[in-house]
Amino acid sequence: MKLKLDVAEMTEDFFGDAHLLGIVAPVRDYQFCWQLNRQFHFNFRINIGLEIQLNKKNRNYYFPVYEHKEPQFYRNHYIYKNQHDGEYLLPEFRHLDFLWLIKGDEVPSQLIADIQQGIRTISGVQLVVELTNEKIKHKEHLIF
């Protein structure tokens, strides 16, 4: 008997309480997270256990994930690097350097607006945009 993993259901569960921002900022990932930590008084740290591995063209590509937890709000923030060695985590958004995923119980729209505004003040940031679920073709690449 073969068991089949229902990726669609997994993806729906994962993104049920999530918001995703796309960011154009041609800087190194650790520098960007350092700037975010200063701007928002967050504590983004790389989480090796969440690193995304994609296999394309008989080669493995690794995409680091940085994490910040807000336990008082039961909310987590994740920064994904969208590009590694010429491959993209979300190929439909090749122009984006980073993805900021916010997951949690309640994510007020004012928080999203404040984060977008704060990101725009960071040196090197050229664009911040909220990505709607319908536009993301490869959602399964973001699931850890």
Closest CA to 83 of 126, 18, 23: 23
pTM: 0.88
User: Per residue in 22-43, pLDDT tens?
Assistant: 999 999 999 999 999 999 999 9
Is the separation of the CB atoms in 17 and 103 below 8 Å? yes
User: Per residue in 73-92, pLDDT tens?
Assistant: 889 999 999 999 989 999 99
d(CA 112, CA 132): 13
- Which domains are assigned to the chain? 15-142 (3.30.310)
